[in-house]
Amino acid sequence: MKKVLVSGYIGFDNFGDEAIFYALNCHLQGLGFEVEALCNNPNNLSKNYNIKAYYFKNPFQILKAILNCDVLYSGGGSLLQNKTSNFSLYYYLFIILLAKIFNKKVIIFSQGIEPIQGKIHEFFMKTVLKKVDYITVRDKKSLKYLKTLNLKADLTSDPVYSLVENCKILNSKEGLIIQLRDFKGFNKAFLDDLSNCLKSYKGEIKVLSLQNKQDEEICKTFVEILNSKGYKAKYIPFYSIERIFELINEAKYVISTRLHGVILANALKSKTFALIYDDKVKTLADELNIQNVDLRNYNQNELFVKLSDFFNKEREILPYRKFDWSLTDLKLLKRK
């Protein structure tokens, strides 16, 4: 049995990345591969998925994992970027390069690749990616960027869409979910403005975290603001992928900051509004014509006007691209 090693932002209790790994693990095991992973919490991952897991910062475990595998999957998610830090970019590039040094097949899996800041950093990424066996990206913007670097890639979509195909989408939906995360430039006044935009909505409001460590404080603060103004609001932490799917599937309205909150709400046909904190959310909203407000250029009046339209007017949403496993399966199953 061949082994596939997955390198990604795994084990940090981030809903989007955990859902991507869940989908990938199920698919690879279904093809008969043994799956292993580099992650933040090997004990939990091993227990939850019954796989071999290695601590992502331990150089000896990294080396052992790469030597033991036949194929490295890097992704999905937004791994190859240095907006967060240069360390993040070079860490994932190092894993890829190490795998190629030991003559392993490497697949860049459904990544969102943002323009790298700094020509030197961009040069190193381009040099490493030229050595990989296959690249797929999840959005047209990433594809266009890689073409400017003369890197060949195929366009797919986000693997979380493959999980939606197994869901029965509810026809009768009710309630409002608001999913928040902290972001650069966040101002508590925004939460006050957001609460004032909901006056026309009558009913319970669920404030949802998709990564408790980062989202909990801002979500609980917003719940306090809502309840102080007479709304019925409660905080809901992320504790299982299945529960998040159920909650969003049940909701009539979803207002989300995080990318995978927007992806899931739109795919499950809940009426969706995006609060843009990052280019990747903007890219998705633009591709699918999802109504949004850019928090990086926040305008109070724009928020009021657009949320009023969101609750009271219909908007044509463009269909998303279904996830196609065959693109990577062909390369995975092909002999070197």
SS3 string, the chain, reads CCEEEEECCCCCCCHHHHHHHHHHHHHHHHCCCEEEEEECCHHHHHHHHCCEEEECCCHHHHHHHHHHCCEEEEEEECCCCCCCCHHHHHHHHHHHHHHHHCCCEEEEEEECCCCCCCHHHHHHHHHHHCCCCEEEECCHHHHHHHHHCCCCCEECCCCHHHHHCCCCCCCCCCCEEEECCCCCCCCHHHHHHHHHCCCCCCCEEEEECCCHHHHHHHHHHHHHHHHHCCCEEEEECCCCHHHHHHHHHHCCEEEECCHHHHHHHHHCCCEEEEEECCHHHHHHHHHHCCEEEEHHHCCHHHHHHHHHHHHHCCCCCCCCCCCCCHHHHHHHHCCC
Q: What structural domains and CATH numbers belong to the chain?
A: 3-157+322-333 (3.40.50.720), 170-312 (3.40.50.2000)
Residue-wise pLDDT for 51-60, tens only, equals 999 999 999 9
Residue 193 has pLDDT above 90, yes or no: yes
Over residues 302-335, the pLDDT tens digits come to: 999 999 999 999 989 899 999 999 999 999 998 6
Confidence band for 336, pLDDT divided at 50, 70 and 90? low
Residues 245-294: tens digit of each pLDDT: 999 999 999 999 999 999 999 999 999 999 999 999 999 999 999 999 99
